[in-house]
């Protein structure tokens, strides 16, 4: 039984994240989506709201669960008997950034393997931060985020 953890901010969940979660759920026995509670970076949505979006959007995936994580990601994996850390790669900037994190995590916890999944080309340009900017000006994001998130963004950010 292999448990994988997919950690991130998910502020909010996008179809790019959801595609990765779906693909990971086919590879691993159990996938835990870990919503990071980063005290330095105040999000648009609270950790509980982000968890709610993910829970609603992954209802059809029986082996996916969602938790809030604080502290070191490798400690969270160990606490949950997980041995695989999943991250997504959209471009070379992600790669450079992720390589550093993976190296550090490997040094902290050599028994944990970081596995990268390539972003689906149709979501390669999708980031939570860009979506929030577009939402502020009323852009239609329904093709890029799950329905619950599209509604949440409208309620939270749209002007006028």
Catalytic residues: 17, 41, 90, 128
Query: For residue 88, what are the β-bridge partners?
Result: 117
In whole angstroms, the minimum distance from the beta carbon of 1 to ligand ADP comes to 23
Which residue, 55 or 127, has its beta carbon nearer to ligand ADP? 127
Least distance CB 143 / ligand ADP (angstroms):
13
For residue 133, say if its preceding peptide bond is cis, omega within 30 degrees of 0: no
Residue closer to ligand ADP by CB (options 30, 50) is 50
Nearer to ligand ADP, 3 or 98 (CB): 98
CB of 80 to ligand ADP, least distance (A): 18
Q: What distance in Å separates the CA atoms of residue 37 and residue 71, rounded to the nearest whole number?
A: 8
> For binding to ligand ADP (CB under 6 A), which residues are involved?
8-10, 14, 16-17, 20, 87-88, 90, 94, 119, 123, 126-128
């Amino acid at each position: 039984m292999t448990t994988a953890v997919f950690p991130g901010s998910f502020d909010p969940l996008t179809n790019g994240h959801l595609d990765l979660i779906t693909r990971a759920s086919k590879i691993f026995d159990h996938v835990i989506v870990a919503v990071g509670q980063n005290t330095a970076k105040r999000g648009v949505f609270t950790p509980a709201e982000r968890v709610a979006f993910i829970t609603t959007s992954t209802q059809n995936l029986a082996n996916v669960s969602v938790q809030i994580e604080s502290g070191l990601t490798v400690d969270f994996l160990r606490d949950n008997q997980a041995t695989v850390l999943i991250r997504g790669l959209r471009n070379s900037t992600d790669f450079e950034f992720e390589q550093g994190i993976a190296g550090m995590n490997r040094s902290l916890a050599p028994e944990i393997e970081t596995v990268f999944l390539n972003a689906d080309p149709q979501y390669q340009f999708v980031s939570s931060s860009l979506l929030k900017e577009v939402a502020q000006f009323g852009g239609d994001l329904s093709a890029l985020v799950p329905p619950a998130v599209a509604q949440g963004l409208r309620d939270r950010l749209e002007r006028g």
